[in-house]
């Protein structure tokens, strides 16, 4: 990652909707990284400890390809739409997440998978969503290779939650998520080594792990590069 964890790197001073989307369009593309489907390529993050973890996981078993949608709602003060996963799910139960899941063989592309999952999980209509581009491939300790799609979402949508997968959908101000002062550092033990992760507590909600890590990547791609 471009800025070591624990260093602010300067707050994102302008997170107005159109300025954010202009910067994202200038920096993101729809090129699919080979590591999404090539089991011989472990996702690289630039963080030595995290890369060690992903290489260990990739050696043990193939990592599964997945896609998530980062829905940035174009309000006067833009927000990011997030979900809280159902408690009975086998992966990341009860955690805060983006809409998304495994890429199916019937999906035309990763962005198509992300849009399908957003519709199935929370009922976000496709005609409200304008995909902008992919972030970097993100690997998780649950054996997933995640390709996030950043998207502009028009306000005015009505959500319909799939209770089997999602118990809550809510919005967090983009200004909070793009301020590096809110990117906290946590630690956990993985196969005998301590590794760091991002956490972004917001009010009573605890955003951490892959979700916080992907939001950090979004900040780096849009505001630091």
**pLDDT class for 185, splitting at 50, 70, 90?**
confident
Higher model confidence: residue 40 or residue 101? Answer: 101
Position 197 scores a pLDDT of: 81
DSSP 6-29: T----------HHHHHHHHHHH-B
Cα–Cα dist 163/199, whole Å: 26
Residue 153 near residue 125, CB atoms below 8 Å = no
Position 3 scores a pLDDT of: 41
Higher model confidence: residue 48 or residue 170? Answer: 170
Cα–Cα dist 199/187, whole Å: 10
| SS3 category, 145 | strand
**pLDDT class for 111, splitting at 50, 70, 90?**
very high
Average pLDDT over residues 54-79: 80
Give which of 172, 167, 162, 177 is closest to 11, Cα–Cα. 177
Position 67 scores a pLDDT of: 95
- Which domains can be identified in the chain, with CATH numbers? 17-224 (3.90.79.10)
Answer yes or no: is pLDDT of 19 > 80: yes
Mean pLDDT, the chain, integer: 83
Answer yes or no: is pLDDT of 133 > 90: yes
Position 187 scores a pLDDT of: 72
Position 8 scores a pLDDT of: 44
Position 7 scores a pLDDT of: 44
């Amino acid at each position: 990652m471009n800025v070591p964890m624990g260093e602010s790197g300067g707050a994102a001073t302008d997170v107005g909707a159109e300025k954010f989307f202009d910067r994202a369009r200038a920096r993101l593309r729809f090129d699919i990284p080979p590591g999404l489907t090539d089991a011989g390529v472990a996702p690289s993050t630039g963080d030595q400890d995290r890369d060690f973890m992903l290489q260990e996981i990739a050696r043990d078993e193939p990592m599964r390809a997945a896609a998530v949608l980062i829905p940035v709602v174009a309000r006067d003060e833009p927000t990011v739409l997030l979900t809280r996963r159902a408690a009975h799910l086998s992966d990341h139960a009860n955690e805060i997440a983006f809409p998304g899941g495994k890429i199916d063989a019937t999906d035309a592309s990763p962005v198509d998978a992300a849009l399908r999952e957003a519709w199935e999980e929370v009922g976000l209509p496709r005609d409200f969503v304008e995909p902008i581009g992919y972030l970097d491939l993100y690997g998780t300790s649950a054996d997933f290779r995640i390709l996030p799609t950043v998207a502009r979402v028009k306000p005015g949508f009505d959500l319909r939650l799939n209770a089997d997968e999602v118990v809550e959908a809510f919005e967090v101000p983009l200004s909070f998520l793009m301020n590096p002062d809110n990117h906290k550092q946590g630690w956990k033990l993985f196969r005998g080594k301590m590794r760091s992760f991002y956490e972004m507590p917001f009010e009573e909600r605890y955003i951490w792990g892959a979700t916080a890590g992907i939001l950090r990547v979004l900040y780096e791609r849009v505001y630091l590069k």
